[in-house]
Amino acid sequence: MRRSLALTLVYVAMLVKARLSYRADFLVQVGSDLLLQAVDLAFLAVVFSRVKALAGWSFGEALFIYGFFLIPFALFNASFAALSDVGDRYVVRGELDRVLTRPLGSLLQIQLELLRPQALNGVVLGLVVLATASVRLGFAWSALSVLMAVLGVLGAWLVYGGLWVAVASTSFWTQERGIGVFPVFYNTINFSRYPLTLYPAALRFVLTFVLPYAFIAFYPAAGILRAQYMLFGWLTLPVGLVVFGVGLLIWHQGLARYEGAGS
């Protein structure tokens, strides 16, 4: 664990230096991410300019949920989102052969090679939005709510990671790029940005028990704001651990089927 963490820090430092050597590209990527997030915030503001509450949630509460969403989403984009390249780059083109010759876990190596540290700007924006929403709501953070938020972010990140690792692992069976599968899972993430009660009961069930995106933002954020959701808020980390564990299991099963890129 200590060795993996040390290697991760070295990779991150190297990637940051490499990205900053092309500062214009780095700033364009950061700027485009911030612009997309600003559009979402503007959408929320427009909606709540016409209504006082949406499915029982005020603008400040919806803003709080969205701000919470931005933090694990940024961590996911930095560490897991690029796993969509596994099928094309590592399985089809055979770069996984190189990875498997090294004395380090294959998944960790691939993640380190595909890190996107520029995506971490979303963490800062999420904290700013959370602070703004807290002031608007008059919400006073306690040690317990801070603990729930930290564990919730970790759990949400693991939910993201577990689902993405599982989807990336399908490339071992299909021997294809799998590009068509990822947009479906990625676009479904959009449902987690807003209060879960906006959706029909069937969709709420899917987002809780099938694709547990409700644990990415709604349940941990709502658990902080409202006592009725507190239990689900505390369950975010255990759910994340289970989902990530299932993702790792699928990865290792797929990896056992990999036969190399040779003819």
User: Over its length of 263 residues, how does the chain's per-residue pLDDT go in tens digits?
Assistant: 777 778 777 777 777 676 666 666 666 666 666 677 777 777 777 777 777 777 889 999 999 999 999 999 999 998 998 898 888 889 888 889 988 888 778 998 898 888 887 788 889 999 999 999 999 999 999 999 999 999 999 999 999 999 999 999 988 888 766 566 788 888 888 888 889 999 999 999 999 999 999 999 999 999 999 999 999 999 999 999 999 999 999 999 999 888 776 55
pLDDT score recorded for residue 21: 66
pLDDT digits (tens, 9 = 90+) for 123-170: 999 999 999 999 999 999 999 999 999 999 999 999 999 999 999 998
Cα(191)–Cα(244) distance, rounded to whole angstroms? 20
pLDDT computed for residue 249 by the predictor: 97
Q: Give CB contacts under 8 A, 24+ apart, made by 75-78.
A: 75/120, 75/123, 75/153, 75/157, 75/160, 76/157, 76/160, 76/161, 76/164, 77/33, 77/116, 77/119, 77/122, 78/115, 78/116, 78/117, 78/118, 78/119, 78/120
pLDDT on residue 9: 78
The per-residue pLDDT for 11 is: 74
Q: Model-level pTM?
A: 0.87
Residue 206, burial from CB neighbour count under 10 angstroms (0-12, 13-18, 19+): middle
For the chain, the C-alpha Rg in angstroms (whole number) is 19
Contact assessment for residue 145 and residue 135, using Cβ atoms and an 8 Å cutoff: no
Instruction: Note whether 68 and 159 are within 8 A (CB).
Output: no
Half-sphere exposure of 34 (CA within 13 A, CB side): 14
Mean pLDDT estimate for the chain = 86
- Count of C-beta atoms within a 10 Å radius of residue 117: 17
Q: Is 95 left (phi over 0), alpha (psi -120 to 50) or beta?
A: alpha
The Cβ of residue 169 has, within 10 Å, a number of other Cβ atoms equal to 25
Residue 155 sits at the vertex; the CA angle it makes with 165 and 8, to the nearest 5 degrees, is 60
**Beta-ladder partners of 58:** 53
pLDDT score for 63: 93
| Structure confidence at residue 54 (pLDDT) | 77
pLDDT at position 262 is 57
